[in-house]
A and B are shown apart, each in its own frame.
Chain A
Amino acid sequence: MSHPIEMQEISHLRRLEAESIHIIREVAAEFARPVMLYSIGKDSQAMVHLARKAFHPAPLPFPLLHIDTTWKFRDMYAFRDRFVAEHGLRLIVHRNQRALDEGINPFDHTSQKYTFALKTQALLQALEQGGFDAAFGGARRDEEKSRAKERVFSFRDRNGQWDPRNQRPELWNLYNGRIDKGESIRVFPLSNWSELDVWQYVQLERIPVVPLYFAAERPVVEREGNLIVVDDGRYRLRAGEVVRPRRVRFRTLGCYPLSGAMESDAVSVRDLLAEMLRSRHSERQGRVIDHDEEGSMETKKREGYF
């Protein structure tokens, strides 16, 4: 019935896990209305898994929030609905309907404008509507240079904005979660995890992930050096562009017209890990969205994006 203790010195993954659970519980205990951002990606899957562990056998004491641009892969929507139903999770889906009505889309608008309207603004709307004072995000510090200084508790002002100069020092595991009315924090329980850690954890814990992470033959068009999977009829092909079946997978998932795929034969988490250990390429490269300008992630963060 009881599990034996395998070792007195626990591995770095178990240590990271224990730390993340501690963070998630601190937020649930100290904030009135937390919410967990859920992007359907592997980091979100790992984060939700950690949250379920943190409160087991009680249900999650907060809902999940999906900021939906309407441009995610169909597989992602299907996976999301199955996943929340299976585990009885509360899910809020929010779209910036006004921006969608105005026709903001990833083809006619710059990626800054698109991201600002359908992600940043949508997120701020959802947080305000829900009256949420703490929002968990699955970002990791090793993802991108400007994240290296991100706190675990990232303080946001009344407009949901982030001021790099006005962040609280974080010592030990003593997080200062005190805020005034209207202020909020973003919390990053996976701060100290690397991409490899997340994948290894997914494997260790048998966490389900969207099949798009694994190689399969998919309809691909090549645009500006990126391999774009044409997921539905809305994609606007330019003259001369042809869609060809190619064996690809995604390293990160987002809006399909803005996600770059990579050629690969990896069909399991084990294969993925093997591929990653063989070739090292930083993960955000596949995100078309970050390439517009150096330090662009930081600009988005200042505006309120995760």
Chain B
Amino acid sequence: MAVAVREIEEQLLIRTGKELVRLVIIGSVDDGKSTLLGRLLYEAGGLYDDQIAQVRRATRNGDPIDFSLFTDGLKAEREQGITIDVAYRYFETDRRKFIVADTPGHAQYTRNMATGASTADAAIILLDARLGVLPQTRRHAAIAGLLGIRRLAVAVNKMDLVGFDEGVFRRHQRELERFAAPLGFAQLSFIPVSARLGDNVAEASARTPWHRGGTVLGFLESVETAREDAQGPLRFPVQTVLRPHLDYRGLAGQIASGTVSVGDEVVVLPSGTKTSVRAIDSFEGPLAQAFAPMSVVLRLAHEVDVSRGDLIAHAGAAPVPRSSLEGIVVWLSERPLDPRRVYLLKHTTRTVPVRAVAVKSRLDPETLGRHPAESLALNEIGNVMVQCGRPIIPDAYARNRATGAFILIDALTNETAAAGTVGELAAAADNAETGAPRIVAVEDVASAHEVERFLSGEGALAAIVRTAAAAKACAAAGIVAVLVRRPGDQALPDDAMAVDLRNAAWREALRSADRA
């Protein structure tokens, strides 16, 4: 008894400090995904007594337990005998709590897989040892790679049906390694498995003495997680502004990356206003420092204009607001990409209208070949150029998954039409390309709106400001400041260009400005 009590105490202690790991498990129908997952849950003690009893009842007398029954889901799919959607499973070991996105393999596959892969630290891909590397296996590996998964285990399943033959295993391994080379995985482990009999799932199999690469559970226990980087540059997307009373104005959000300390010099984007962090608040009290992925409240030193969708970054390491970006999208909607439809782009906590999405090429995930394309249909993947009506503040997905991801929403149907990842970003701001001046001075608010509309139409980022200081801050952040001059304001900032809308040629003047 005393021993048992101590063991429980230890387990409780361990449990407070577990690491959260997200996985996606991918396989075509009948590769044995449900069986493998059921066995993992079983071996890791993730199943309850009554669940086991229920499955034993459902298994025919004399048969080994049908592990696939543990991950059985919705009624509709039970009736059809197929899995139709992403399901999430949970289990834990002594060190880790796992969230497994279980994604099925059939027509809607790419969409489901992309969903599961978007948050995963690592992936397990199954293949049937008898069938080897199929087109869909290549597809799975490619999508995992595109969605930023760097660590992959390939479970070559049903090894019992090929006599645990090393030659078969190595052939599949070589073939997939060759295909995956350009995808740049940091880890690509191959494991010969029999999900049904348990070989190399939790324990090393005596039937594969030639295999030294560990078990599936071993991979899960040791795989490095793809954490948001607390060491990286600070990215704090503002979710909402808290104003309990007049003297308190707190910016609530979850730190996407980096660390923030009281006193840090920060910049509010896209306005470019500089200030510093006055306080970091939490329910427990003020903090001196906070880091990703904490959800906190920041208070700034100055009464600056900040709202939902703005991003706080360190002054010296701020990203550039952009209204156009290149990226890869997976089309999720039954309605193909249609230039006549209106889309919204949601990036961090910011939703902006999309002016245009142009397909540059379609990617064939089975060959990694690129093909010319005009549109994208459900489950297709393409390189696109997106023009936004208002700027977003992205990082490249390869550098930051939280600030490099976006979704496209069909403004009419509200459905999530596509998921996208931001490609490498050119160092220069958009405005350098459009050739617009950095500060435009106008006489009144109506003119300011007119000018701002025009500049946005030209693909530039523009913001209306009222002081020379704000105008300079914008300009420094790569945004065209449309400065409304108050009567009596004589001095214009040096680089400002005064525009009078009564002059019919004002558009041309703006267009040709700075090009000289």
Contact surface of A with B, Cβ cutoff 8 Å:
1-5, 8-19, 21-22, 25-26, 28-29, 52-59, 141-142, 145-146, 148-149, 164-165, 167-174, 176, 178-180, 191-192, 194, 196-197, 200, 204, 270, 273-274, 277-282, 285, 295, 298-299
Contacts and interface: CB of A to CB of B under 8 A. Distances in A.
A148 B99 CA distance: 11
A274 B8 contact: yes
Interface band, chain B? 35 or more
A-B pairs with the 4 shortest C-beta distances? A282-B48, A12-B20, A21-B295, A58-B244
B407 A29 contact: no
Interface SS majority for chain B: mixed
B201 to A, nearest CB: 20
Contacts of A295: 74-75, 78
A5 B289 contact: yes
Contacts of B407: 171-172, 174, 176
Interface of B: 4-5, 8, 11-12, 15-20, 45, 47-51, 71-76, 78, 84-90, 92, 96-97, 99, 102, 111-112, 114-115, 118-119, 227, 230, 239-240, 242-244, 248, 250, 252-254, 262, 281-291, 293-295, 297, 308, 332, 344, 346-349, 401-402, 405-407, 409, 414-416, 419
Contacts of B71: 148
B12 A178 contact: no
B407 to A, nearest CB: 5
A146 B240 CA distance: 33
Nearest to B52: A280
Given A3-B287, A58-B248, 13 more contacts: A1-B286, A2-B288, A5-B287, A19-B293, A22-B239, A56-B283, A148-B73, A171-B416, A174-B346, A174-B407, A200-B16, A280-B45, A280-B49
B295 A54 contact: yes
B11 A5 contact: no
A171 B405 contact: yes
B284 A57 contact: no
Contacts of B262: 2
Contact of A280 (B48, B90, B102, B349): B48
B293 A298 contact: no
A151 to B, nearest CB: 9
Contacts of A3: 282, 284-288
Contacts, number: 204
Contacts of A17: 295
A5 B291 contact: yes
Given A192-B88, A295-B75, A56 B286 contact: no
A192 B90 contact: yes
Nearest to A56: B283
Nearest to B297: A56
A26 B20 contact: no
Which of A145, A174, A178, A278 has the most chain B CB atoms inside 10 A of its CB? A174
A25 B252 contact: yes
Contacts of A273: 8, 12
Given A141-B88, A146-B74, A59 B332 contact: no
B293 A279 contact: no
Given A176-B414, A192-B90, A55 B346 contact: no
Nearest to A295: B75
B332 A169 contact: yes
Nearest to B89: A148
Nearest to B307: A29
A29 B286 contact: no
A257 to B, nearest CB: 22
Contacts of A167: 85
B88 A148 contact: yes
Given A55-B242, A55-B252, A149 B87 contact: yes
B294 A192 contact: no
A56 B281 contact: yes
Contacts of B283: 52-53, 56
Contacts of A26: 239, 349
B291 A8 contact: yes
B79 to A, nearest CB: 10
Given A11-B16, A16-B20, A270-B12, A282 B254 contact: no
26 contacts: A1-B285, A3-B285, A3-B287, A5-B291, A10-B294, A11-B18, A16-B20, A18-B295, A21-B295, A25-B252, A26-B349, A59-B244, A148-B89, A149-B88, A165-B84, A169-B86, A169-B332, A171-B119, A174-B347, A178-B414, A180-B414, A200-B16, A204-B16, A274-B12, A282-B48, A285-B50
